[in-house]
């Protein structure tokens, strides 16, 4: 599962993690029954406090996206209603749109041209697709 933390962002780290895991669940990148990384492993990988990850998993559990099983791990739950997923995805896209606009604005303030911004977007998309593909491939290998 690919999660990227923007340390300089005004968005709290716990919210960044939560929104990205939520997006993975809602988009189907994480399927029902998939086990999330352990609290310690994810905290170490993201170099954040263990309590931050615990809070994120607890909030996602409260939302009904994951189930925390003591001693076993945290697992993605099946989504109960497609309409809820659609609404949550719409909210995620709205949030993304706001964040993307802020990044574009910052790029303009730094003197980037539209062409330079497009190149950065294209490169970022290629990187993200490559990372997601590798993640799906690794998950498939684990299942076989």
pLDDT of residue 113: 94
Tally of domains within the chain: 1
Tokens of 47: 């170099």
79-104 pLDDT, tens digit per residue, is 764 346 677 777 878 888 888 898 89
| Residue 10 per-residue DSSP state | S
Range of the structural domain that residue 5 is part of: 1-79
pTM score: 0.64
Contact 22, 92 (CB under 8 A): yes
22 lies in a domain? yes
131 lies in a domain? no
């Amino acid at each position: 599962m690919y999660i990227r933390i923007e340390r300089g962002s005004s968005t709290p780290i716990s919210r960044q993690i939560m929104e990205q895991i939520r997006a993975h669940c809602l988009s189907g990148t994480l399927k029902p029954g998939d086990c999330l990384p352990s609290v310690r492993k994810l905290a170490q990988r993201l170099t954040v406090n263990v309590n931050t990850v615990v809070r994120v998993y607890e909030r996602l559990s409260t939302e009904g996206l994951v189930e925390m099983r003591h001693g076993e791990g945290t697992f993605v739950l099946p989504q109960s209603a497609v309409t809820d997923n659609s609404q949550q995805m719409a909210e995620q896209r709205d949030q993304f749109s706001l964040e993307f606009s802020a990044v574009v604005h910052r790029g303009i303030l730094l003197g980037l041209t539209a062409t330079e911004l497009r190149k950065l977007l294209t490169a970022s998309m290629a990187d993200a697709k490559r990372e997601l593909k590798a993640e799906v491939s690794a998950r498939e290998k684990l299942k076989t």
